[in-house]
Amino acid sequence: MKPASVFLITGAANGIGRATADLVVEQGHKVAICDIDADGAAELAGTLGEASYPLQLDVRSETDWAEALDLCWKRFGGVDVVVNNAGLIHNGFVRDQTADDIRHMVEVNYLALITACRTVVPRFIEQGYGHVINIGSLAGFVPLKGQAVYSGTKHAVRAFHHALALEHENDPVDFSLVCPAAVDTGMLKQQIGHESAALSFADESLTASEVAQGILHAAEHKPVELVLPAVRGELIRLLGVYPAMVKRITHASEARGARAMERMQPKSASESDPRYHRG
């Protein structure tokens, strides 16, 4: 990574994306703050100053991607690192989710990431360098009861990411997959009180800043795959090979998460967030 690199981060108005944009600028880099929430992107850019560039981007749109990259090339002369961070979850067991809920998660978490890579990678090849950092999840290693579709999209992201990296192993593009545990962002908070979300609260969550540090570490060292936190992540990665074992420990983890979530319940309904939130 160059001493002063240009990052493009999706879902950058909130959560992990926002923390990463903050850290990138703090470390002397430049950042395109991309989000479907144009006002949120502009608000963050107002705090980060000249090193930032707010762009409205619907990650599902090939047209939006092409326009965003054109604007970044015009503003910065190129992009060094693209962080595909945008993602969302709809609460509920599969039987309770609508077809629109399911389609929304698949489109944003998985299909949009494919669109991003199909648009970005050729640009990187043309300029002779570039680094794609895709944000997966520890949910991409194990089947999560209550988050079947969400974890399914993250399993798909991992398979796609590593297959794409192999397809481009002779091209001047680096690929890293960052897989964090549950992160204390709006996406996690809006799950409080939903029975289906108990497993999200079974263990201590990461902060957005901790994940941002992991992403910057990935940008500097270019690992094939990075799990966060390291020790628990490695255990979960191994556990994913044995679905029967996952089944045995799910009930205990679910009970532990339910107790933790109960302690977090808002005091009034007005404190609750919407039923889904972009990370």
Lowest mean pLDDT among 15-24, 56-65, 269-278: 269-278
Residue 278 lies in a domain: no
Structural domains counted in the chain: 1
Measured CA to CA, the distance from residue 132 to residue 135 in angstroms comes to: 10
The whole-angstrom separation of Cα 11 and Cα 251 is: 33
pLDDT tens digits, one per residue of 155-171: 999 999 999 999 999 99
CATH code of the domain containing 26:
3.40.50.720
122 within some domain: yes
Q: What is the pTM of this model?
A: 0.90
Which one of 53, 110, 129, 150 is the catalytic residue?
A: 150
Domain assignment of residue 78, yes or no: yes
| CA dist list (Å): 242 to 150, 200, 235, 236, 238 | 20, 20, 11, 10, 8
Please tell me the distance from the alpha carbon of residue 235 to that of residue 34, in angstroms, as a whole number: 33
Whole-number Cα distances in Å, 265 to 145, 258, 278: 21, 11, 20
Alpha carbons 155 and 142: distance in angstroms, whole number: 8
Q: What are phi and psi of 227, to 5 degrees?
A: -105, 145
Is 275 part of any domain? no
Output the pLDDT for position 270: 38
Which amino acid appears at position 22 of this protein? D
Residue 114 within any structural domain of the chain: yes
**How far is the C-alpha of 166 from the C-alpha of 163, rounded, in Å?**
5
For tokens 């191994």, the residue is 238
Parent domain of 243: 6-264
Whether the per-residue pLDDT at 277 is higher than 90: the answer is no
Residue 176 in domain:
yes
For residue 266, what pLDDT is reported? 64
pLDDT score, position 1? 83
pLDDT at 271 over 80: no
* pLDDT surpassing 60 at residue 267: no
Residue 270 belongs to some domain of the structure: no
**Catalytic (active site) residue 150:** yes
Q: Is residue 272 part of a domain?
A: no
Residue 130 predicted with pLDDT over 90? yes
How much is the average pLDDT of 137-141?
97
Per-residue pLDDT at 116 exceeds 90 = yes
List the one residue out of 82, 91, 81, 77 whose CA is nearest residue 112. Answer: 82
